[in-house]
Chain A
Amino acid sequence: MPPATDTTVISTSALTKRYRDVLAVDALALDVRRGEIYGFLGRNGAGKTTTIRMLLGLIRPTAGEVRVLERRIVPGEASVFRRVGFLVESATAYPNLTVRENLDIQRRLTGAPSTAVAETIDLLRLGEYADRRAGRLSLGNKQRLSLARAMLHKPDVLVLDEPANALDPAGIVEIRGLLRSLADERGVTVFMSSHILGEVAHLADRIGIIHDGRLLEELDRDELKAKARAYVAVTVNDPTLAETLLHEAGFRHLERDSGAPGVIRVLDAGKRPSEIAGVLVRAGLELTALTPTREDLETYFLRLTGGDL
């Protein structure tokens, strides 16, 4: 089991960043505990990367503060980064240097032992490319190189912005397993943003949802399950008549699926799908599907942030 504890590793209070008229991050309060994987979700422009940059001291907050491993991140703070690995936005490396040389630079700058480069190359399965120049790597392998750079000095905290970017499906599964094992076996705290909601749902112990710079919700897996709505999706040839009939039969919470015109969601179906079928079939409607469903993270996220379902 993960050695997650109540010790706070990353915290922000009233963290705010304003660019002239644009409020990029608005009074954000986060608490990330030791050994947990925290998924940070948000649409493009929600404030994820700005937050990550403030966590790393790359940009200065307009107001509020950031603490990482109990150290306040202020200009000039450097010592805490011996225990922090990170990947911000796109994967980058010195193109004229090989994978090994790029990692050796990171090793020197973080004070990692000389064996760290070879170990990390093995860990990220970069052996085949170790002596290839970074400028000649595929996007996926550049991403692996950036992840290797983040992990090389065995940090206690990993701050990863879209770690699955450019990875193929097998690579995504592999990195997921790697992050899970780092958290479970070494107690590494992972703070990761992602636009791949399924990825976060699989991996994260807790999820924070940011929208327009504000933290809308923070929830763990159990809370997500509890909050995600259960409903019965009904596919029928005349949804307008079906809505009327179901309403008359006592089903009060009905929704049309904007993406599928013939589908009605019956939110208060409970354990009564057979009753729904009975009402519709008796009225002579052509019922083609009746599916008990539970919202996934994607649906929940879109509902919370006002997107189309």
Chain B
Amino acid sequence: MFAQVLATEFAKLRRSKVTWGTLAGLSMGPLGLALFMWIIREPGRAATLGLLGTKANLSGLEATWPAYASAITLVVGIGGMLLLSFIVAFIFGREYTEGTAKNLLALPIGREWFVLAKLVVAAVWWIALTAAVIAESLVIGLALGLPGFSARVASELVGNAMLAAAISYLPVPVIAWITTAGRGYMPPLAFAIAMMALGNVFGKTGWAEWFPWSIIPSLIGMVGQPAQSVPVGSYIVLTITFVGSAVATALQLRYADNTQ
């Protein structure tokens, strides 16, 4: 039965402009970085074209493959905190904004299967976006001819970006829970923005590895040097967050009144 639920969840994305919108949004990241790399490499021409302010300070920045790869991980990490939150809010919230939630709740299928199927769709959507952006980044980086390219750098880019994508996925059932409890898009998006800000604050404290939304900023270097690895404690926190909020979402659908 779960296969049928999953098939219907994918079918609901047919002709959806949101899927293409998220791809367009995330793919702007590597393009912006490429432009940035070019400006660093050729500041004179950039200034001539008006792309660089006269007071811009580019000292300490370098247009190399390692720097570019690190920035790509940052794009995926930030995308994970905001864009993935938007995707999850859309997948769950559209049932309320389009008035179809009530149609799902009196069917011969446990409501928890819808939660699971929607989370799987979000995961697949996010993996596809991440893969597309990684591929785009590699193509653009090679086209730019940045120095320092090697198979090791490329594999690190892929590995770090996928790790950032995976870790940023783990707290998203919280977004699902807020969406089902709030029955719309605004509460989860406000929450995602608030957590991004709070994650940055916590990331600068000793609590970084214990707060789910500061683990990604620490890993990708939003709050200092990128962490070399994710502590075991962070994985435990993320796993508890994932399981706890997924269960909370299922219980919300099962027990809360639906007066939509």
Contacts and interface: CB of A to CB of B under 8 A. Distances in A.
Contacts of A57: 105-106
Interface in A51-74: 53, 56-60
A181 interface: no
A179 interface: no
A58 B106 contact: yes
Interface in B230-260: 254-255, 257-259
B193 interface: no
B256 to A, nearest CB: 9
Contact of A97 (B1, B11, B102, B106): B11
B205 interface: no
B55 interface: no
A96 to B, nearest CB: 5
Interface in A116-139: 133
Given A53-B259, A109-B5, A94 B108 contact: no
Contact of B110 (A78, A82, A111): A78
A58 B106 CA distance: 7
A258 interface: no
Contact of A92 (B4, B15, B100, B110): B100
Interface in B12-64: 12, 14-16
A283 B255 CA distance: 71
A78 B105 CA distance: 9
B254 A75 contact: yes
A95 interface: yes
Nearest to B104: A109
A288 interface: no
Interface stretch (A6-14, A32-40, A100-108, A188-196): A100-108
A86 interface: yes
B90 to A, nearest CB: 12
A94 B105 contact: no
Contact of B258 (A58, A97, A104, A111): A58
A53 to B, nearest CB: 7
Interface residues of A, number: 34
A110 interface: yes
Nearest to B94: A94
B8 A110 contact: no
Contacts of B105: 56-58
Contact of A60 (B98, B103, B107, B257): B257
Nearest to A57: B106
Interface in A72-98: 75-76, 78-82, 84, 86, 88-90, 92-97
Interface in B126-183: none
B14 A78 contact: no
A211 interface: no
B258 A101 contact: no
B106 A60 contact: no
A59 B259 contact: yes
5 contacts: A53-B259, A58-B259, A101-B11, A109-B4, A109-B108
A78 B255 contact: no
B98 A94 contact: yes
B99 A92 contact: yes
A108 B108 contact: no
Contacts of A97: 11-12, 14-15
B7 interface: yes
B14 A111 contact: no
B91 to A, nearest CB: 12
B197 interface: no
A89 B7 CA distance: 27
A149 interface: yes
Task: Identify which of A86, A95, A97, A108 gathers the most chain B CB atoms within 10 Å of its CB.
Answer: A108
A115 to B, nearest CB: 17
Nearest to B3: A108
A79 B110 CA distance: 9
Contacts of B255: 60, 75
B59 to A, nearest CB: 50
B102 A96 contact: no
Nearest to A17: B257
A57 to B, nearest CB: 6
Contacts of A56: 105-106
Contacts of A133: 15
A70 B98 CA distance: 33
A16 B226 CA distance: 58
